[in-house]
Structure 1
């Protein structure tokens, strides 16, 4: 008479955790952002980025293909962190002016950060004139933000708060006005230390009010 083999105890499910490739991808983006900010696009090598991320150079290439794509992914990741999708949700209980001011503050805080200033200067260098990088940057960063904001405007139009004939143009105008003179001075290195948070808040509020004078439904 044969004996039955003892039942194999059921394996407990693996503890939840982040997949290894996502952890590596995140480490690569963090390292690339630091090195692009401090060394510039040309100064930061894939070897340096791999070493700073604690991975092999082959791993960097397998995740992002080349340095241009990695730069664009850094831009996209940074924009998503600073301007998350939740920032552009409808939130019908929040007055329109307050919603626009929330977007304005987050956007302005992002574009005056050291990472954004460094990225802007990289793209303005002569070497980038014939490079695909500016277009990749635009699609990964500014275009994504404008598209998300345009959807917010459309939703506010649908409930009768705004009247806009050309929504993409209005979205572009909003962010261009927000950058305005303060951002231009910052890029030229002549934004004085005397500028205060109150100055910034007045600039943002004036921009939002101008936008609403143009597009708020009367």
Structure 2
């Protein structure tokens, strides 16, 4: 979702404001960050902030969208008929786990839960920019995979639900609660192999039920 900003006049200042707001929102949360603090951190006046972003909600949404897009769009998931699907599937899973395990991503999830708990409408915008954006990337990947015959043609929403459930599961909830550390590189490797194996048991093109 592309959010409409205020009246951007200076792209460099807009970037400074976004960077400052991302840092403050992640550190202090939505309610703990003020437009005054953001202006000071960005080295601009409060009026400049409002000239670029009409209000705090707009700035928050733009900052979250930018943060999520930088991570999720870091490596396009593009297949072709001659590619090594197993390798590409592994890389896609690796990208997802790496993005989700970033300290910034974990802070974002805590922030999302905080907003959801108070039934703040910003939670849905946040979800669409982060979780839903990740789902769209996976759905496109599985659509391509089915077209090239690497997996069975099926509802990409169900395939996406399955792979993300396998990759995350109860373990990710424990990480969010702080009772388990994010997986190490070796642990991620094994998680990915196990997830791929279970996924392909169901969607391998030679499998029939």
- Displacement, 1:128? 4.3
CA distance in structure 2 between the aligned counterparts of 1:107 and 1:50, rounded to whole angstroms? 33
Matched, 1:44 2:4: no
Name the SS of the counterpart of 2:172 in structure 1. Answer: helix
Which residue matches 2:145?
A: 156
Aligned counterparts of 2:117 and 2:163: Cα–Cα separation in 1: 27
- Is residue 2:60 matched to residue 1:83? no
Asked whether the 8 Å contact 1:105–1:204 carries over to 2, the reply is: yes
The answer to which of 129-138 and 49-58 deviates more is 49-58
1:35-76 Cα offsets, whole Å, 9 max, x none, are: 112111111111111211122223323333332332232222
Q: How many residues align?
A: 199
Looking at structure 2, the residues matched to 160 and 190 of structure 1 have their Cα atoms a distance apart, in angstroms, of 41
Q: Is the 8 A contact 1:163 1:217 kept in 2?
A: yes
Cα RMSD, aligned residues only: 2.3
Listed as ranges, the gaps of 5+ residues in structure 2 are: 1-7
How far did residue 102 of structure 1 move?
Answer: 1.3
Give the structure-2-normalised TM-score.
0.83
- Deviations 1:67-111, CA, capped at 9 Å, x for gaps: 233223222222222221642222544322222221222221222
Q: How do 1:58-207 residues align onto structure 2 when only pairs under 5 Å count?
A: 58-84=47-73, 86-125=75-114, 128-192=117-181, 196-207=184-195
1:149-184: per-residue Cα shift (whole Å, max 9, x none)? 211211121111121321122223322322223311
- Change over 3 Å in CA distance of 1:88–1:50 after alignment to 2: same
Q: Structure 1 residues 125 and 83 mapped into 2: Cα distance closer, same or farther (>3 Å)? A: closer
Runs of 4+ more than 3 Å apart: 91-94
Correspondence 1:209 to 2:209: no
